[in-house]
Amino acid sequence: MREVRTLLTGHGLVESPRWHGDRLYFSDWTAGEVVAIGLEGESEVVARVASLPLCTAWHPDGRLLIVSSADGRLLRREADGSLTVHAELGRPGWNDIALDGKGNAYVNRVGFDPMSGEIAEPGSVFLAASDGSVREVAGDIAFPNGMAVTPDDSTLVVADSYGHNLLAFDIDGDGGLSNRRVWADLGEAAAPDGICLDAEGAVWYADVPNRRCVRVAEGGTVLDTVELDRGGFACALGGPDGRTLFVVAAEWRGMTEPEPVTPGSGQVQAVEVDVPGVGRP
pLDDT tens figures, 257-276: 778 899 999 999 999 999 99
Least confident stretch, 31-35, 119-123, 273-277: 119-123
Higher pLDDT residue, 40 or 7? 7
Q: Is the predicted pLDDT of residue 124 greater than 60, yes or no?
A: yes
pTM of the predicted model over 0.85: yes
| Closest residue by Cα to residue 247 from 11, 59, 76, 68 | 11
Contact, 57 vs 76, CB < 8 A?
Answer: no
3-state secondary structure of 278: strand
Q: H-helix or E-strand containing 223?
A: strand 222-227
The span from the CA of 69 to the CA of 43, in Å, is 24
User: Which pLDDT score, from 0 to 100, does residue 117 have?
Assistant: 55
One-letter amino acid identity for 198?
D
E strands, 102-211, where? 105-109, 123-128, 134-141, 144-149, 155-160, 165-171, 177-185, 192-198, 203-207
Binding residues: 15, 95, 113, 145, 193
The per-residue pLDDT for range 65-112, each reduced to its tens digit, is 999 998 999 999 999 999 999 999 998 889 999 999 999 999 999 987
Cis omega (within 30 of 0) for bond into 192:
no
Q: What is the overall mean pLDDT for the chain? A: 94
Q: What is the mean pLDDT of residues 222-250?
A: 98
Residue 181 has pLDDT above 90, yes or no: yes
Class of domain 5-278: mainly beta
- Of 88, 83, 45, nearest in space to 65 by CA: 83
CA atoms within 13 A on the CB side of 17: 35
Task: Cite the annotated binding site for substrate by residue number.
Answer: 95, 113
* Residue 134 CB partners (closer than 8 Å, separation 6+): 87, 88, 89, 90, 126, 127, 128
pLDDT for res 256:
72
- Asked if 78 and 47 count as a contact pair (C-beta separation under 8 A), the reply is no
**Does residue 18 have a pLDDT over 60?**
yes
**C-alpha closest to that of 176 among 226, 249, 125:** 125
Residue 113 pLDDT class (50, 70, 90 cuts): low
Q: What is the pLDDT of residue 115?
A: 56
The residue ranges of every structural domain in the chain are 5-278
Longest dimension (CA), the chain: 48
Q: Are 14 and 280 in contact (CB under 8 A)?
A: no
Mark whether 207 is an active-site residue: no
Catalytic residue among 28, 96, 193, 207: 193
What local confidence, expressed as pLDDT, does residue 119 receive? Answer: 60
Going by DSSP bridges, is the β-strand pair 56-58/64-68 parallel, antiparallel, or unpaired? antiparallel
| Distance, CA of 206 to CA of 194 (rounded, Å) | 6
Could you list the residues known to form a binding site for a divalent metal cation, using ranges. Answer: 15, 145, 193
